[in-house]
Amino acid sequence: MSSSASELVVRSHVARDLLQNAALFKTDKLVVWEYVSNGLQYVDPGTNPVVEVYLDSKKKRIVVEDNGRGMDWPGLQNFFVMHGENLDRREGKPGRGRFGTGKSAAFGIADLLRVTTVRDGYRHKVELTRQGVEKMGEGFEIPVRVLESQKPTDAENGTIIEIENIHLASLDQAGIVHYIERHLAHWPKNCSVFVNKYECEYSDPPVSYEKRFRPEPPMQEKLGDVFLTIKVSKVPLDPELRGVSIYADGVWHETTLAGSEGREMSQYLFGDIDVPSLDDDKSPISPFDLSRSMRLNPNNQLVQAIYAFVGRAIE
């Protein structure tokens, strides 16, 4: 028997992998936010991020346009690597990009993804279709159609995402706006997002008072030198705003009442805690998954410690 015949290796069906990851993005809200958040995160230094979203239910089309830093050709190549290494994360910069699956989001609801991006005076335009993905056999790379490459332009840096042939009966503009505004609560205030020219805005609830908590040993050894802030709102909060928002190096991962859901006065409590060690956790059971559920893994020991600390403080 030849050595190749006796070898056992792990292989991936690239097309199936892409479409299975796309299935995680089941709604227009999830898809739009995936590309909006990229536009907010990947910007040149000193740039206030601005993202404009255009929804056209009649034409079954979504456009997301940003003033981010754009992508050069190597950056665009990396964008289309499933589970590819996030270049910012490799350089030690925190961010959302962890699993390299977001480029598949469009195919959760549509048949075509077109990307036009400008970086340092050059424009690139490419597109990928569901039909092109589905016809590829096991283990084959999926060709991306190149419409423009290295074309000189006077345009500013930025990226335009076009999503076409959408399968949804209609696009939920009000729901998309609400979803974006909920997430903007956890982003720097210099971000601007418009949906069909409507500016999405988030305002902090009026606060009656707040308290800060610091873990004591041995909890501090697990969480690090962190602070938990809990605020008491003057008015009842919407359910999705109640609880403590858990961050890792400024990136939001979950908001939880840590067991106090439904208890008296819990509808007035909100706050935040940033635990940088979450981002560096190398446990066999990861604190994160790729589902975009905005929930941490309760089976991870560090997450369990955070829940315990937050729960006691809330009580």
pLDDT surpasses 80 at 85: no
Q: Are 302 and 251 in contact (CB under 8 A)?
A: no
Q: How confident is the model at residue 1 (pLDDT cuts 50, 70, 90)?
A: very low
Residue type at 77?
Q
What are 15-73's pLDDT values in tens digits?
A: 888 888 888 889 999 999 999 999 999 999 999 999 999 999 999 999 999 999 999 99
Quote the CATH superfamily of domain 14-200: Histidine kinase-like ATPase, C-terminal domain (3.30.565.10)
Q: Which residue has the higher pLDDT, 97 or 188?
A: 188
Cα separation, 125 vs 118, whole angstroms: 9
- What is the value of pTM for the model shown? 0.84
Cα separation, 149 vs 167, whole angstroms: 30
Instruction: Output the DSSP codes for 158-202.
Output: EEEEEEES--SSS--HHHHHHHHHHHHTTS-TT-EEEETTEEE--
Q: How confident is the model at residue 117 (pLDDT cuts 50, 70, 90)?
A: very high
What are 253-273's pLDDT values in tens digits?
A: 999 999 999 999 999 999 999
Q: CB neighbours of 18 closer than 8 A, spacing ≥ 6?
A: 82, 104, 107, 133, 142
CATH class of the structural domain 207-314? alpha beta
**Residue range(s) in the chain whose domain bears CATH number 3.30.565.10:** 14-200
Q: Are 260 and 315 in contact (CB under 8 A)?
A: yes
Q: CB neighbours of 101 closer than 8 A, spacing ≥ 6?
A: 21, 24, 82, 83, 290
Q: Which residue has the higher pLDDT, 129 or 20?
A: 129
Q: How confident is the model at residue 122 (pLDDT cuts 50, 70, 90)?
A: very high
Cα separation, 197 vs 136, whole angstroms: 39
**Residue range(s) in the chain whose domain bears CATH number 3.30.230:** 207-314
pLDDT of residue 101: 64
